[in-house]
Structures are given as structure tokens and as C-alpha cells.
Amino acid sequence: MKLSVNGTDHEVDVEDDMPLLWVLRDELNIKGVKYGCGVAACGACTVHIDGVAVRSCQVSAADVDGRVTTIEGLGTPEALHAIQAAWIAHQVAQCGYCQSGQMMQAAALLSEIPDPSDTDIDEALRGNLCRCGTYLRIHAAIKTAAAALRTN
């Protein structure tokens, strides 16, 4: 089947029910997307399909009906997305394992609500677990990124 990821088209030969998460990680070697729970309980595998945040562990390969964007497609160390720049400025990460999913969720929120309230952020991010407990910095980084994106 065909898959568009971060602007590149791929042809993959996998079972229809293989979750997108594992197609990305093991078939396409795109490792920024993380396996945490496999049941949409942690958000570590969050990617965008046509700009909408989805849990890639719950999307079967055959059901991918749009362009997939992972953290690698959001920005790179050389060309940071405003969200990544804010994550660096706030020194958000501890172990960092959940942060790809947090940033992808945050990016989807800001594309929908450019100036989110505290409640908007709370509700959008409540499904993204962070065992290290970096929520306060995630919250602050989202506000910084939102301000940066609005002025650009």
C-alpha cells in the first residue's frame, strides 16, 4: 500500500491491520514516533494525518487516508518548528520519551486555536502522559510557541 510521510511517498507491504505506529517505526525506520502503551492511553505515538492529531497505535495501515506528519516532519535540529524552539527554550524534556507526542498534540492544538486558554491546553493535552512530570513546562512552552506563531 502507499503511504505519504513527511512529504515522501512510500510503498509498504504490510498486513492491513498493522498499526501505523509500527509501519513508521519498523518498516520505514522513522523512530521519532514512540511506542508507549499500544492502546491510546499515553499519547507517545501521536502523529498528524492531514494536520489532525491521531494516536498512530490505533490507526491501521489500511485506514490511513491522508498525509502523515511525524515529529521529524514538524521541524529538524537545523530548521526548528516554533514548538520545538519553545520546547528547547523552556528546557522541557527530562527523559524526553513522551515529548514527540506532546509536541505533535500541541502543534495540532495551535493550528486549530492560535491563542489557547489554560483550559484549552489542559483539555488538548490531558491524553498525553508524561511520567517524568514535565506538564508545567509543556504548558508554558505551548504559550510561548503560540505567541511566536501569532507574530510570524
- Contact residues toward other proteins (CB under 8 A) are 15, 18-19, 21-22, 25-27, 29, 31-39, 41-42, 44, 70-72, 74-77, 80, 84, 87-88, 91-100, 103, 121-123, 125-139
CB of 109 to other proteins, least distance (A): 12
Please, which residue, 4 or 94, has the CB nearer to other proteins?
A: 94
Give the three cell numbers for residue 9: 511517498
Residue 83 corresponds to which amino acid?
A: I
Report how far apart, in Å, the C-alpha atoms of 82 and of each of 22, 29, 100 are: 28, 25, 14
Assign 66 to helix, strand or coil.
coil
Please, which residue, 1 or 88, has the CB nearer to other proteins?
A: 88
Please, which residue, 3 or 21, has the CB nearer to other proteins?
A: 21
Give the three cell numbers for residue 8: 515522501
Q: H or E stretch including 2?
A: strand 2-5
